[in-house]
């Protein structure tokens, strides 16, 4: 064939050898560059065959004697990957087997997949395409399990390349499309996408679907444009486009593309085989166009370069096309000679496809031996067709098993997802019930708290009302007492005292009598009356003064509280400014302050062991201040928990938007200060 198949195959293998996935375990760089296996591998490149084999077995023994499973798997994985070092086929198979076992032992799925990949590459290099395809599929299954998408895509592409080589074009196209699907889910996969579309172009050219093949080649060029320094790969695609045009008999476009390849700078030195191939393709295109100018020179130049790189298959193709040129020039003898050279090169290079075409052409050129060539052609063609069918059947079976395995994995994954969803549903239901129960509990608990709060508020309001009623009642009683005191005072002052004064004045008049005894008796009576007068006057003045004093009911309540709870051992004092109208304070302030004094006094009696308790009221800048102090045992305010009394004081002060402070030292008594805005 006159296409770039051999070059593409070599390019695939080169790419694979450069980018294969190694075991995922990290390896220190110093170990990789300085371990014994690396040293022996470097030495083997310049050693003779015998020494090379010694070094290979030495490396094998070193790996087999590794002290730990991890090191053993690492060494065997490296040896499996380094196929340039391990040139002995039987030794390589043994190393690969040991690498698989070692990594299975440590359960490194990625490393096992890489080792199967190594073995597939090894088989592909030895033209064992069925084995290579099988091991690529094994690696594919493993990488599918761990969801290594890029590696899965590359393996599909490798399998498609093998299928293309055995003319399983449908299978090859299907696997290439699968590879593209994986690559497109990832970023920065332009190189893999270029290779995939280029392969699709080759497949469609072989299937003679030239329009589709050109579309795929253009797609490959699209992705190549995104890759820097891509002109050599671009030259390869342009050469393939030229082949598609040539096979479709569009010779002018074919010649244009081949000349474009040849004009690329440095292509002769950097891609010698591609340059020679483009020369041959240009020569054949011109020949098929019936333009024989410079064709002989192009064939000679191409053959010379191909011999330098020892590309036997490509040389055989050039001689075959050279024979076509000689036949076109009506030089049958030269044509037969060139065809026989192509035959011998095809046999030497084991290029069966080229050999078939050559025998077919020789049967036309060499009429005398046509039957022999036809028999050879028929025998080889039947053999190849049978082998191709066997391989295609094998590949179909492997592909079926792989697809079945993937389908099972998908089914298992689907079952897992279903189970996971069911689990999530049950968890959600359980969580829902729990949250519902918690909500019901919170609602009931909150209702209970709200009811208690409403009860406390109602009780507080009732207490306030009772206190206000008590104060009002006391005020009424005190008012009645004051009025009664005033009335009695007035009666004493205006009635009794008036009469007594009149009697005293009468007696004073009688006292002017001349008798000594009358005068003496009257004088005594007058003295007694004056004494009664003075006594009644004093009572009247005292009652009158009490009536007009500003006696506060709030302060009286506090005094009564202190008096009623007085202990014979505790002296109580209550200081307040009598000129202040303490009853003008809001009822809420009075009731809460009263309760705080009551609570503090009770605490002093029960706990303080004091002999003195004092309460002081005073106003300061629109604030009502209360100080309560005792000379008891005191306590450390920074230690221990707050008791109910302190919490009650805090609660009542917060209601009044005020503040309080406790100053206490052990052995020095306690002072509580209240500060309440009026």
Residue 593 shares a structural domain with residue 508: no
Question: What is the spatial distance between Cα 197 and Cα 418, in angstroms, rounded to a whole number?
Answer: 37
Residue 560 shares a structural domain with residue 625: yes
Residue 589 shares a structural domain with residue 535: no
Distances in Å between the Cα of 176 and the Cα atoms of 199, 389, 398, 474 are 8, 21, 16, 106
Specify if 10 maps to a domain.
no
Question: What is the spatial distance between Cα 599 and Cα 396, in angstroms, rounded to a whole number?
Answer: 97
pLDDT at 226: 92
At what angle are helices 370-490 and 587-603 packed, to 10 degrees?
Answer: 90
- Of the three residues 548, 570, 593, the one that is the final residue of a domain is 548
Specify if 361 maps to a domain.
no
Please, are residues 536 and 497 in contact by the beta-carbon 8 Å criterion? yes
Specify if 611 maps to a domain.
yes
Could you tell me which residues are beta bridge partners of residue 571? 612
Specify if 558 maps to a domain.
yes
Residue 537 shares a structural domain with residue 620: no
Residue 542 shares a structural domain with residue 558: no
pLDDT at 15: 34
Helix or strand (DSSP H, E) at 500: helix 497-510
Residue 182's closest CA among 158, 148, 223? 148
Specify if 637 maps to a domain.
yes
Tokens at 615, concatenated: 């309460």
Residue 432 shares a structural domain with residue 527: yes
Question: What is the spatial distance between Cα 557 and Cα 543, in angstroms, rounded to a whole number?
Answer: 22
Residue 10's closest CA among 248, 310, 247? 310
- Of the three residues 529, 548, 567, the one that is the final residue of a domain is 548
Distances in Å between the Cα of 412 and the Cα atoms of 237, 643, 657 are 42, 65, 68
- Of the three residues 548, 580, 612, the one that is the final residue of a domain is 548
Question: What is the spatial distance between Cα 152 and Cα 141, in angstroms, rounded to a whole number?
Answer: 8
Specify if 66 maps to a domain.
no
Question: What is the spatial distance between Cα 598 and Cα 577, in angstroms, rounded to a whole number?
Answer: 20
Distances in Å between the Cα of 380 and the Cα atoms of 345, 355, 369, 374, 627 are 16, 9, 17, 10, 123
- Centre a 10 Å sphere on the Cβ of residue 502 and count the other Cβ atoms it contains: 10
Q: Which regions of the chain are under pLDDT 70?
A: 1-35, 384, 387-413, 483-514, 518, 521, 524-528, 530-535, 537-552, 565-568, 640-642
Residue 542 shares a structural domain with residue 595: no
Tokens at 552, concatenated: 């506060």
CATH number at 618 reads: 3.30.565.10
Residue 471 shares a structural domain with residue 514: yes
Residue 569 shares a structural domain with residue 496: no
Specify if 298 maps to a domain.
no
Residue 435 shares a structural domain with residue 542: yes
Residue 3's closest CA among 189, 228, 223, 217? 217
Total domains present in the chain: 2
Give residue 614's domain range: 553-677
Question: What is the spatial distance between Cα 473 and Cα 491, in angstroms, rounded to a whole number?
Answer: 27
Instruction: Name the phi and psi angles at 195, rounded to 5.
Output: -60, -40
Specify if 627 maps to a domain.
yes
586 Rama sector, left if φ>0, alpha if ψ -120 to 50, beta otherwise: beta
Question: What is the spatial distance between Cα 208 and Cα 247, in angstroms, rounded to a whole number?
Answer: 8
Helix or strand (DSSP H, E) at 226: none
Please, are residues 277 and 261 in contact by the beta-carbon 8 Å criterion? no
Question: What is the spatial distance between Cα 523 and Cα 256, in angstroms, rounded to a whole number?
Answer: 168
Residue 637 shares a structural domain with residue 580: yes
Residue 523 shares a structural domain with residue 573: no
This prediction's pTM: 0.55
What is the DSSP pairing of strand 659-664 with strand 571-575? Answer: unpaired
Largest CA distance in the chain: 210
């Amino acid at each position: 064939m006159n296409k770039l198949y051999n070059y593409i195959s070599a390019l695939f293998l080169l790419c694979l050898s450069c980018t294969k996935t190694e075991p995922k375990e990290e390896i220190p760089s110093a170990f990789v560059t300085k371990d014994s296996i690396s040293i022996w591998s470097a030495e083997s490149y310049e050693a003779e065959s015998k020494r090379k084999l010694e070094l290979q077995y030495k490396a094998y023994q070193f790996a087999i004697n590794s002290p730990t499973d991890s090191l053993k798997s690492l060494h065997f994985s490296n040896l499996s990957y380094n196929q340039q070092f391990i040139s002995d086929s039987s030794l390589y198979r043994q190393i690969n087997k040991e690498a698989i076992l070692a990594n299975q032992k440590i359960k490194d799925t990625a490393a096992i997949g890489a080792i199967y990949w190594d073995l597939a590459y090894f088989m592909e290099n030895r033209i064992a395409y069925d084995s290579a395809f099988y091991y690529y599929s094994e690696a594919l299954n493993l990488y599918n399990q761990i969801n290594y998408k890029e590696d899965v895509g590359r393996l599909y592409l490798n399998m498609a390349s093998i299928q293309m080589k055995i003319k399983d074009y449908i299978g090859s196209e299907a696997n290439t499309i699968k590879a593209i699907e994986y690559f497109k889910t990832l970023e920065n996969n332009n190189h893999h996408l270029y290779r995939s579309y280029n392969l699709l172009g080759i497949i469609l050219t072989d299937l003679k679907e030239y329009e589709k093949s050109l579309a795929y080649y253009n797609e490959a060029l699209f992705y190549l444009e995104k890759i820097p320094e891509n002109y050599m790969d671009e030259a390869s695609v342009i050469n393939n486009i030229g082949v598609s045009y040539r096979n479709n008999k569009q010779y002018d476009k074919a010649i244009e593309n081949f000349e474009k390849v040849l004009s690329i700078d440095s292509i002769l030195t950097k891609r010698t085989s591609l340059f020679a191939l483009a020369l041959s393709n240009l020569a054949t295109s011109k020949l098929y166009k019936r333009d024989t100018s410079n064709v002989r020179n192009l064939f000679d130049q191409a053959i010379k370069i191909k011999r330098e790189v020892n590309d036997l298959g490509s040389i055989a193709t050039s001689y075959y096309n050279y024979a076509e040129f000689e036949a076109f020039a009506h030089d049958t003898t030269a044509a037969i000679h060139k065809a026989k050279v192509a035959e011998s090169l095809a046999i030497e290079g084991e290029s069966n496809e080229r050999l078939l075409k050559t025998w077919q052409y020789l049967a036309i050129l060499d009429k005398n031996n046509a039957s022999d060539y036809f028999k050879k052609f028929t025998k080889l063609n039947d053999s190849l067709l049978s082998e191709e069918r066997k391989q295609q059947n094998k590949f179909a079976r492997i592909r079926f098993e792989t697809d079945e395995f993937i389908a099972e994995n998908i089914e298992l994954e689907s079952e897992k997802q279903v189970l996971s969803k069911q689990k999530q549903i049950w968890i959600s239901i359980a969580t829902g019930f729990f949250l519902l129960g918690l909500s019901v509990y919170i609602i009931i608990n909150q209702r209970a708290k709200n009811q208690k709060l409403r009860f406390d508020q109602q009780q507080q309001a009732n207490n306030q009302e009772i206190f206000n009623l008590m104060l009002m009642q006391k005020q009424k009683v005190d008012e009645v007492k004051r009025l009664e005191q005033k009335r009695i005072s007035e009666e004493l002052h205006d009635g009794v005292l008036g009469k007594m004064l009149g009697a005293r004045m009468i007696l004073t008049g009688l006292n002017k009598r001349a008798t000594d005894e009358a005068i003496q008796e009257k004088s005594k009576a007058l003295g007694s009356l004056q004494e009664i007068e003075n006594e009644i006057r004093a009572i009247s003045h005292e009652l009158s003064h009490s009536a007009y004093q500003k006696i506060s009911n709030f302060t009286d309540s506090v005094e009564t509280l202190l008096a009623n709870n007085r202990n014979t051992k505790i002296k109580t004092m209550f200081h307040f400014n009598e000129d202040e109208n303490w009853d003008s304070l809001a009822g809420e302030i009075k009731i809460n302050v009263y309760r705080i004094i009551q609570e503090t006094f009770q605490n002093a009696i029960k706990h303080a062991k004091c002999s003195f308790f004092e309460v002081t009221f005073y106003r300061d800048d629109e604030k009502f201040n209360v100080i309560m102090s005792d000379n008891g045992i005191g306590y450390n305010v920074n230690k221990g928990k707050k008791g109910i009394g302190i919490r009650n004081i805090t609660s009542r002060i917060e209601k009044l938007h005020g503040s309080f402070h406790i100053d206490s030292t052990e052995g020095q008594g306690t002072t509580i200060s209240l500060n309440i805005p009026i």
